[in-house]
A and B are shown apart, each in its own frame.
Chain A
Amino acid sequence: MADMDTAADRAATDAGPSRGAKVQLDCKGLLCPLPVYRASQAISRLEPGDVLRIECTDPGSLADFPAFARQRSLTLLSATERDSVQVFELRKEADA
Chain B
Amino acid sequence: MSGATSRDRRAGNGNGRRRRLALVASKGTLDGAYPPLILAATAASLGWEVGIFFTFYGLDIIHKKKHRKLKVASLANPAMPVSVPNLVGALPGMTAAATRMMKSWMKRSNLPGIPQFLDMARESGVKLFACSTTMGVMGVGEKDLVMGADIAGATAFLDYAADADVSLFV
A residues apposed to B, CB below 8 Å: 1, 3-4, 6-8, 29-34, 36-37, 39-40, 67-68, 70-73
Contact = CB atoms under 8 A, between A and B. Distances in A.
A37 B116 contact: no
Given A1-B119, A31-B109, A70-B10, 11 more contacts: A1-B112, A3-B110, A4-B110, A4-B112, A6-B110, A8-B110, A32-B42, A33-B42, A34-B110, A36-B42, A67-B46
Nearest to A1: B116
A30 B109 CA distance: 7
Contacts, number: 61
Interface string B91-124: 0000000000000000101111100100110000
Please classify how large the interface on chain B is, using the bins under 10, 10 to 19, 20 to 34, 35 or more: 20 to 34
A68 B112 contact: no
Of A37, A70, A73, the most chain B CB neighbours within 10 A belong to A37
Contact of B45 (A3, A39, A73): A39
Main secondary structure of the interface of A (DSSP, over half): helix
Given A4-B110, A32-B38, A71 B10 contact: yes
Shortest beta-carbon contacts, A-B, top 10: A40-B45, A71-B46, A33-B42, A33-B41, A36-B45, A7-B110, A37-B45, A71-B11, A73-B10, A33-B38
A9 B123 CA distance: 17
A4 B120 CA distance: 12
B31 to A, nearest CB: 15
A3 B19 CA distance: 30
